[in-house]
Amino acid sequence: MHQITREKNYFLSFLFLKFSEYQNLDPFSNTFGAASQAVLTDYLTVDEIVATPLEELAQLLAKEGRNRFPSPEAVAAVIKRAARDSYRLHPALNEPLNLILGATLENIRTLSQQIKKVDRAIEREVRKFPNPLSSVPGLGPVFVAGIMAEIQDIHRFPDQASLAKFAGLFWRTSESGSFQAEETSLGKSGDAYLRYYLIEAANSVRMHNAEYGRYYLSKYNESAKHKHKRALVLTARKLVRLVDAMLQHNQLYVLPPMNLTEEVNESANIKARPAKQHNYRQPGSRSPVLCA
């Protein structure tokens, strides 16, 4: 993943040379999508895009985007506007620049295919070891495998606070006498891999679970700086309690019935509150069990 990130950053740096206004106007939600790649590789220069009829460009977008664009003509108009506003390079640089962009895209596609193979292998391995974490909406096999691999045996930790400290999800105190700092930094020690998996998993769970989505929003609005990062780390800290309880008691998660859209889009002025109890059920049992 680090390697594919480097390749994407490398690609974007050269993309600016060819198409300086492309990212400013941002015609696509994903710069590396099929339709975006077709626009960037099928045309040698931005002048060719400007000279292309709007209908022809819209047809290309509809074909490469598999008719998923609600209005290909509108996207095509944004692309032509970006092409007109972009500065021009010396003609001698066009061909080598396109060669670099094309080769980098090949590297990105190859790495993406390898990542998919690894993800499928991880999913096959996770199926061999049934665990309750797979029942949590938003926790896919990669997150589950990463969390389980780093925790190993949950009984090594006497409580959820110990697990959180092992993951590095704690804040260092900064005080002297009666003074206490308003902002404290996250601990630098702990298992960096487990911390990564828990934070990424929390970001996924909050989009599939109304309770975690609501908790994230409350912390987001309470934060004065670095809103998303702080809210996400606090949501990961909440997820630690859930992971610890499920693994300690070997109990599956039962999502309470609710309208996810209404819950997540509630008023953002929600105050922090004590952690709610979660409903679980024993594997093979239909009766839910309450576990803090």
Given this model, what pLDDT does residue 26 score? 87
Given this model, what pLDDT does residue 138 score? 92
**Percent of the chain predicted with pLDDT > 70:** 82
Tell me the pLDDT tens digit for each residue of 41-64.
999 999 999 999 999 999 999 999
SS3 91: helix
Task: Give the Cα separation of 94 and 113 in Å (integer).
Answer: 29
Q: Which of 281, 182, 181, 186 is nearest to 233 (CA)?
A: 186
Confidence bin at 202 (pLDDT 50/70/90): very high
Given this model, what pLDDT does residue 133 score? 93
Task: Give the Cα separation of 145 and 142 in Å (integer).
Answer: 5
pTM of the shown model = 0.68
Average pLDDT, the chain: 84
Tell me the pLDDT tens digit for each residue of 91-126.
999 999 999 999 999 999 999 999 999 999 999 998
Task: Give the Cα separation of 35 and 26 in Å (integer).
Answer: 13
Confidence bin at 177 (pLDDT 50/70/90): low
Distances (CA, A) of 182 to 113, 185, 234: 46, 10, 16
Distances (CA, A) of 179 to 24, 170, 175: 45, 20, 5
Given this model, what pLDDT does residue 129 score? 82
Task: Give the Cα separation of 83 and 51 in Å (integer).
Answer: 10
Given this model, what pLDDT does residue 175 score? 52
β-pairing, 278-281 with 288-291?
A: antiparallel
* Predicted confidence (pLDDT) at residue 264 exceeds the cutoff of 90: no
* Predicted confidence (pLDDT) at residue 206 exceeds the cutoff of 90: yes
Residue type, position 189, single letter: S
Tokens standing for 152? 């190993």
Tell me the pLDDT tens digit for each residue of 211-243.
999 999 999 998 888 899 999 999 999 999 999
Calculate mean pLDDT across residues 132-151.
Answer: 93
* Predicted confidence (pLDDT) at residue 140 exceeds the cutoff of 50: yes
Lowest mean pLDDT among 8-22, 55-69, 244-258: 244-258
